[in-house]
């Protein structure tokens, strides 16, 4: 059995009463492995028909599954690389289930890395509306952007800012604000020995202070009629109900709508807490309707601008050569830093005040007005069709070779010099350029693997 801190056990015994024995017995059972089907790319039924592992419903989220059998190297399986699923703790999935996100909403995930809840929010948005995923730690913000890239989010902006800065830039703007607050991690003791080693009553109280500060910033971002979702992976009342109760005493414009605890002896997962608060009213001082509308980007200057004619011509040529049928409208294309991006969403001008890690979907980088296509574009769940692709079986030697960074023999699949995706069961895992029947591999080196078995 896991050796739990004595003071923690004493508090949990008082907290749970007659259920304490069941709670303690849960630590004799192994932690479960959960995954969320990414419905941006694949329906749940289709995924189940493809899935090579034994699974059962998670019970905490409609698209959530628990892997019940052996699943070696699941993180390097082609279906994972293609973004068909995200490995996520089952209890953590409940946060987005309770957020009640609908397509077209404006959603902020304030403490978003590594991206599990942002990815689930993006799936609920179905490519419509706006998702701002923020992470204050730069390296974690980059990882967040990579995960949203793999999952195919097209309407996401990743920022790296202090919560106060986000609130200053985007007050009263979002329909949903998610705060998955840093916490003492009590709910993860069964999976994370480091959380046990770091635990103390003093650490719990310090976390509660930090959580209250983050919640203050988050509240400023909620639009009238919008909802604030607060969650932790801890059992501590100080970090959960205590934080919420103190907040509500100071904010009469918010009212509680839901409070839910998940315990490992009650659900097939770890410990979690989620509360949903509603901001009442239709308008109030500080709320600006202009905040809700996109602004015209400048033709020159800034990190985001309209395309110059040579840039637009280069992007148009690439899209016409690569996609079949409809291509992105010119109004959905921008230059972000030195590359072309696809951004089929409205965004407020004030968003550009924040440090931005990624904006929409990168189509490619410009080099002397010529476009070097990006992995991001081929991974995006943008709904367009490709002229041609090289489709490979999940267990094939050819796919293993491609994922390892090698070239492939492609024959007469497309004309010389054309870029095309490499797919597994129709889902892109990367892309290459065809030259004389050979597909030159353009999979980023950081994503290449020696083998996935």
Catalytic residues: 233
Coil, helix or strand for 107?
Answer: strand
CA-wise closest residue to 417 among 325, 327, 318, 326: 318
Tell me how many degrees the CA angle 152-419-413 measures, rounded to the nearest 5: 110
Q: How far apart are CA 244 and CA 239, in angstroms?
A: 8
CA dihedral 225, 129, 123, 102 (to 10 degrees): 30
CB-based contacts of 73, cutoff 8 Å, min separation 6? 452, 453
Q: Pull the structure tokens for residue 12.
A: 């949990």
Q: How far apart are CA 52 and CA 55, in angstroms?
A: 9
CA-wise closest residue to 115 among 74, 77, 82, 156: 156
Please tell me the total number of residues recorded for the chain in this structure.
Answer: 453
Which residues on adjacent β-strands are paired with residue 228? 177, 277
Task: Identify whether the C-beta of residue 230 lies closer than 8 Å to the C-beta of residue 111.
Answer: no
Task: Identify whether the C-beta of residue 93 lies closer than 8 Å to the C-beta of residue 60.
Answer: yes
Task: Identify whether the C-beta of residue 211 lies closer than 8 Å to the C-beta of residue 182.
Answer: yes
CA-wise closest residue to 292 among 163, 144, 59, 130: 130
Instruction: Kindly report the backbone phi and psi dihedral angles of residue 348, in degrees, each rounded to the nearest multiple of 5, phi listed first.
Output: -80, 150
Q: Pull the structure tokens for residue 306.
A: 């309209």
Beta strands in 77-195 (DSSP E): 85-87, 106-109, 130-134, 156-159, 174-180
Which residues on adjacent β-strands are paired with residue 13? none
CA dihedral 111, 117, 119, 124 (to 10 degrees): -120
CB-based contacts of 213, cutoff 8 Å, min separation 6? 163
Q: Pull the structure tokens for residue 277.
A: 């608060």
Is the torsion defined by CA of 112, 354, 294, 345 positive or negative? negative
């Amino acid at each position: 059995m896991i050796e739990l801190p004595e003071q923690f056990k004493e508090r949990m015994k008082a907290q749970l009463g007659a259920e304490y024995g069941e709670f303690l017995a849960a630590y004799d059972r192994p932690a479960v492995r959960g995954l969320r089907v990414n419905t941006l790319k694949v329906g749940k039924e289709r995924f189940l028909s493809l899935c090579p592992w034994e699974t059962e419903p998670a019970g905490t989220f409609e698209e959530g599954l628990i892997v019940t059998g052996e699943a070696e190297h699941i993180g390097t399986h082609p279906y994972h690389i293609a973004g068909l699923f995200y490995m996520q703790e089952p209890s953590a999935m409940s946060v987005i289930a309770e957020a009640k996100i609908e397509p077209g909403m404006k959603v902020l995930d304030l403490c978003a890395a590594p991206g599990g809840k942002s990815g689930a929010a993006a799936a609920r948005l179905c490519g419509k509306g706006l998702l701002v995923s923020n992470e204050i730690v730069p390296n974690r913000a980059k990882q967040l952007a990579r995960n949203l890239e793999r999952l195919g989010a097209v309407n996401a902006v990743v920022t790296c800012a202090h919560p106060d800065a986000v609130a200053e830039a985007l007050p009263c703007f979002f329909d949903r604000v998610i705060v998955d607050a840093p916490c003492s991690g009590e709910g993860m003791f069964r999976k994370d020995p480091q959380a046990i080693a770091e635990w103390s009553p003093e650490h719990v109280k310090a976390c509660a202070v930090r959580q209250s500060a983050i919640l203050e910033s988050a509240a400023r971002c909620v639009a009238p009629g919008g909802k604030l979702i607060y969650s932790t992976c801890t059992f501590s009342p100080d970090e959960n109900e205590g934080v919420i109760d103190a907040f509500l005493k100071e904010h009469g414009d918010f009212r509680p709508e839901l409070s839910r605890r998940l315990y490992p002896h009650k659900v097939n997962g770890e410990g979690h807490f989620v509360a949903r608060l509603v901001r009442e009213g239709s308008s109030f001082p500080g709320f600006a309707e202009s905040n809700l509308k996109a602004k015209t980007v400048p033709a020159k200057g800034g990190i985001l601008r309209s395309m110059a004619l040579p840039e637009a011509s280069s992007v148009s040529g690439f899209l016409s050569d690569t996609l079949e049928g409809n291509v992105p409208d010119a109004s959905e294309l921008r230059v972000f830093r030195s590359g072309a991006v696809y951004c089929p969403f409205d965004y407020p001008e004030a968003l550009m005040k924040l440090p931005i890690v990624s904006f929409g979907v990168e189509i490619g980088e410009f080099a002397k007005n010529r476009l070097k296509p990006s992995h991001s574009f081929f991974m995006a769940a943008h709904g367009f069709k490709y002229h041609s692709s090289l489709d490979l079986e999940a267990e094939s030697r050819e796919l293993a070779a491609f994922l390892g960074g090698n070239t492939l023999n492609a024959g007469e699949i497309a004309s010389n010099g054309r870029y095309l995706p490499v797919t597994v069961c129709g889902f892109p895992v990367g892309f290459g350029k065809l030259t004389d029947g050979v597909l030159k591999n353009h999979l980023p080196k950081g994503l290449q693997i020696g083998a996935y078995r």
